[in-house]
Structure 1
Amino acid sequence: MPTLANIQFIKDYGPGFDLLNFIALANSNPASRSLSFDLFILATAVFVWMFVESRRLGIRHFWVVVVGTFTIAIAFSAPLFLFLRERRIIQLKNEEIN
C-alpha cells in the first residue's frame, strides 16, 4: 500500500520523486504531522534494532533491507529482515547440531 501511495504522489506531483514536496505534504496538517513523526520514530527504532541484530547474527545482505527501507517502505523491509533473521537463526542452529 505505501508503494501505491508513492506512485500516486509521483503521478500527481511528478515527474520523479520530489522528496522536499513529499515531506512538506506529509507535514501539512496536525494529523499527518502526527503520523509522520510517529512513523519516523518507529522506523528509526526498528532500523537501529535491525542493524544491531544483523551484526550480532552475521546476517548477510543487510544492504537489501536498507535499500528496501528507502526505496519501498519500512512495511516491506521490516518483514524482509524478520525473514532473513529467522533463516539465519535456523542456519546457526543447524551448524551447532552438525
Structure 2
Amino acid sequence: MGAVLPMMANFEFAREYGNSFDINNFIALANANPAAQSISRDLLVGASAIFIWIVNESKKLNMKNMWVVYIGTFLIAFAFSAPFFLFLRERRIIELEKIN
C-alpha cells in the first residue's frame, strides 16, 4: 500500500499535467494552499527525521543492502520505505538474537 497509493497519485499527476513528472510543478501544487502546505511540511519534517533515524539505525545494526530503502524513499515514497525498513530491521534483530 505504501508504494501503490503514492505511485497511483504520481501517475495521475503526470497524466493530468503532462506526460512527464515535472518536479517544479509538483512542489508548487503541493504548496498551493494552506492545507496542502500543512501536509507537505508535516511530511517533510516527519520523513526527514525518520530517514535520519533509518540511516543511523541501519548502520548500528550493520544492515546490508540499505540502498533499496534509501533510494525507495525518494523514487517510490516514504510510505514505502519506512515500513519496509521496519520489516528489514525486525528481521535483522531476530538474526542477531539467534547469533547471541
> What CA distance in whole angstroms lies between the structure 2 residues aligned with 1:76 and 1:8?
18
Other-structure match for 1:12: 16
Displacement of 1:57: 0.2
Letter in 2 for 1:73: A
Query: Does 2:41 match 1:41?
Result: no
- Specify which structure has the bigger relative contact order, considering alpha-carbon pairs within 8 angstroms and separated by 6 or more residues: 2
TM-score of the pair, normalised by structure 1: 0.95
Identity %: 55
Structure 1 segments of 4 or more deviating over 3 A? none
Q: Deviations over 1:30-72 (max 9, x none)?
A: 1100100000000000000000000000011111001111111
Letter in 1 for 2:22: D
Other-structure match for 2:78: 74
Q: How many residues align?
A: 96
Other-structure match for 1:52: 56
Other-structure match for 1:22: 26
Q: Determine helix, strand or coil for the equivalent of 1:31.
A: helix
> What CA distance in whole angstroms lies between the structure 1 residues aligned with 2:85 and 2:18?
31
TM-score of the pair, normalised by structure 2: 0.93
Displacement of 1:16: 1.6
Other-structure match for 2:98: 94
**Is there any run of 5+ residues in structure 2 with no aligned partner, and where?**
none
Letter in 1 for 2:81: S
Letter in 2 for 1:85: R
Letter in 1 for 2:76: I
**Is there any run of 5+ residues in structure 1 with no aligned partner, and where?**
none
Computed over aligned residues only, the root mean square deviation of the Cα atoms, in angstroms, reads: 0.7
> What CA distance in whole angstroms lies between the structure 1 residues aligned with 2:67 and 2:24?
25
Displacement of 1:20: 0.6
